[in-house]
Chain A
Amino acid sequence: MPEATFLDATELVINMGPQHPSTHGVLRVILKLDGEKVNGTECIIGYLHRGVEKIGENRTYQQFAPYVDRMDYVAAVSNGLGYCLAVEKLLNIEAPPRAQAVRVILTELNRIASHLLWLGTHALDIGAITPVFYCLREREEVLKIFENYCGARLTTHAFRIGGLQYETYDGFEEEVKKFCDWFIPKVDEYEELLTNNRIWVGRLKGVGILSAEECKEYGVTGPVLRAAGVAWDLRKAQPYSGYEQYDFDIPTAENGDTYDRYTVRMEEMRQSTRILRQAVDRIPSGPIIGKVPKVVKPPVGEAYVAIEAPKGELGYFIVSDNSTQPYRMRVRPPSFVNLQALDCMVRGGLVADVVAIIGTLDIVLGEVDR
C-alpha cells in the first residue's frame, strides 16, 4: 500500500471571490492548492453578464452607442471609439479630421485614466497604500476634462456615429496642455515610490511570466503582449482615427513578468501625453460630424474593426441586414481573452502571486462578462 501522508493526500480547493477585494469585481477563481503552491485554477465568470450583444441586436445603431460605455467602464471613451469606427466602416464613411483629432485626445486621456486606476489598485493589492490616493487625484483631472467636454465623467458617450456630438469648449486645448505639463512629474513621482522599491520589486519580478509565444497562443494583447517583447500596437500596426500623424513609441520589455508589465504601462502613460501634446497643437478646423443619415441603415454586409484599447485589442464584429438594427453585434473584449491566460500564469506560483497576477492583467469584469 502506498504511503499516504497528510500533505500529499489532499489537494486543498479554495474559492477566491466573487466577493474579494483584489479580484477587481465579481471574478471567482477556484484555486487548487498544494500548501502554498497553486496547482491549477478555474475562473468562474458571468456574474455581471447583461447580454450586451443581445441588447445590441434589439436597439438601433445610435441607441446602442451608450451601452458600449458600460462594458469597460474605466475606459468608456475607447469603447465608444471602437463602436463608432465599426459602424462608420459599415456605412463606408469617415469622421472629419477635426472630429478625429478630438477623438484621439479624449481616447488618450482615457488611456491615462485607465492606467492610473490600474496602477493605484494594483499597488494597493501588493500592499502599497499611498499610490492609490495619488493616482485617483490625477485621474480626477482627466475626469474633469471629460465632464467639461460632455457632462459625464465615466460613461461619457462622447462620440457619435460619423463624428462628435459636441464642439470642444473654450480653453479645451490649454487645459489638456496644462494637464500634460502637470502630469509628467507625477509619473516620475510614482516611479520614485515604486520602481526601485525593494518590496515592490520583490513581489513583482519573475512573477507570472507569460512569454511572447504563450501570449500569441492565448490571444493576449495590449500591455501584456508588449511586456513580453512584441512591439505590436494597433495604433501603429493598423492606424485608425489619424494615429499615423502622431509621433510616439511602443514601449516594450523583455521578460514578460509582472514587473515588466508595470514598466510598460508607466511608459505608455508618458507616450500618451506625447500624443496629446501633438494632437492639441494641431486640431484642424472644420465640421465635427460627417454626413450621416438620420436613420442609420448600413448596406447588407459585415465588418470587423479593432482598436487598441488600454487593455488590448477591442474589436467589434457587426453584421448588417440593411435594417435599422444590427443583425449581429459581436464584441471581442480584450479582458475576456486576456483573463484566459491567468491559469498559465499562476500555475506553480504562490497564492499571494495570484493577487499580483490578477492585478497585472488589468481586467474589468464589466467587459469580461458583458
Chain B
Amino acid sequence: MADEEKPEGSAVPPPPGAEAAGATDKPAPPAAKPAAPKPAAPAHPAPPKPPAIMVTAPWESDITELLKERFGGDITEFSSYLGQSFLIAKPHAVIPILETLKLELDFDYLVDVTAVDYPKRPERFEVVYILYSFARNERIRVKTMVADGYSPATAVPVHLAANWLEREVFDMFGIQFAGHPNMRRILMPEEWQGYPLRKDYGILQQDEAWVQENLGIESGQ
C-alpha cells in the first residue's frame, strides 16, 4: 500500500518550508488530491476484467468414453480446469459412477468428500467427491448438484472412507446422506442447531441456547 502512494506524493513538489515546520504539511494534501486521479489513470490502466465463470476446457480420455457410453445423459459435463479433470453428474447416478470408476477404471482411493454452498442456485449444494487412482496416478473430481433437503445416496458401500467425510458434510452443511450407517454430527456438538458452513450462517453466529446451557456463559463471543 505504501508503495502505491509514493508516486502520487512525489509528483507534487514539496512546499518550501516542509522540512522546517510540521504545520506546513497541512496545505499539501488538498493540493495533491485533485491532481492524483489524472496521472494515475494512464499510468495504471484497469486490467481486463476476468470472466465471471470458470473457464474450463473439455476433458476427453478413455475414462470419459467409457462413462459416456455407460451413463449417457446422467453426466452433464466433462471438463478440466488448470489441468484438473472433473465431471458433473445427476445426483442419482453418482454412486454407480463411483462404483464403475472404482471397479473398472482403478479409482480405488476416495480422497475427499466435501460440499460447496451456492444459496442463490435452485440446487444450492455442490457435493464434490475427489478420487485418485494409484494405478493411473491420476486425480479426478465427481460433482453433483443437490437441492436443500434432498438426500443423496451414501458412498460408504463403495468406499469406507466416505463414512466420516460424509458425516462432516452433514455436520457443516446439513446434507443428509441416505443409507449412511451413522448419520450424526462429527465435529460440532450433537445438539447444536444450524449448519456452520452454509453461506447464510454468519461468522459470529452460534447456537446461543446451547452455549448458555452447556457452557454456563452468556455468549461465546
A residues with CB within 8 A of B: 45-46, 49, 51, 53-55, 57-58, 89-90, 92, 216-219, 230, 232, 237-238, 294, 299-304, 306, 313, 315, 317, 319, 322, 327-328, 330, 332, 336-337, 340, 369-370
Contact = CB atoms under 8 A, between A and B. Distances in A.
Interface in B107-122: 108-112, 114, 116-117
Interface residues of B, number: 42
A46 B161 contact: no
Given A54-B197, A90-B82, A337 B164 contact: yes
A247 B4 CA distance: 44
Given A306-B111, A337-B164, A328 B186 contact: no
8 contacts: A58-B203, A217-B160, A219-B109, A313-B111, A315-B112, A340-B160, A340-B163, A340-B164
A328 B172 CA distance: 12
Nearest to A237: B137
Given A46-B188, A304-B130, 18 more contacts: A46-B186, A49-B188, A53-B197, A217-B161, A219-B110, A238-B139, A294-B4, A300-B50, A300-B52, A300-B53, A301-B81, A302-B81, A303-B82, A304-B84, A306-B139, A328-B117, A330-B114, A337-B164
Contacts of A51: 196
Nearest to B182: A42
Contacts of A53: 172, 197
A315 B111 contact: yes
Contacts of B201: 54
A361 to B, nearest CB: 14
Majority DSSP secondary structure for residues of B touching A = loop
Interface of B: 1, 4, 50-55, 81-82, 84, 108-112, 114, 116-117, 128, 130, 134, 137, 139, 141, 159-161, 163-165, 168, 172, 185-189, 196-197, 201, 203
Contact of A303 (B84, B117, B137): B84
A314 to B, nearest CB: 11
A54 B196 contact: yes
Contacts of B187: 45-46, 49, 369-370
Contacts of A58: 203
Interface hub of B108, B134, B139, B164 (most chain A Cβ within 10 A): B164
B138 to A, nearest CB: 9
A245 B112 CA distance: 29
Contact of B114 (A230, A232, A317, A322): A317
Contact of B50 (A54, A237, A299, A317): A299
B189 A299 contact: no
Given A45-B186, A299-B50, A317 B197 contact: no
B111 A332 contact: yes
Contacts of A319: 116
B94 to A, nearest CB: 17
B30 to A, nearest CB: 27
Interface hub of A54, A230, A238 (most chain B Cβ within 10 A): A54
A196 B39 CA distance: 76
Contact of A330 (B1, B112, B159): B112
B52 A322 contact: yes
B166 to A, nearest CB: 11
Given A58-B203, A322-B52, A340 B114 contact: no
B186 A219 contact: no
Contact of A299 (B51, B128, B139): B51
B177 to A, nearest CB: 16
Nearest to A299: B50
A58 B139 CA distance: 28
B13 to A, nearest CB: 27
Contacts of A370: 187
Nearest to A370: B187
B128 A317 contact: yes
A237 B168 CA distance: 28
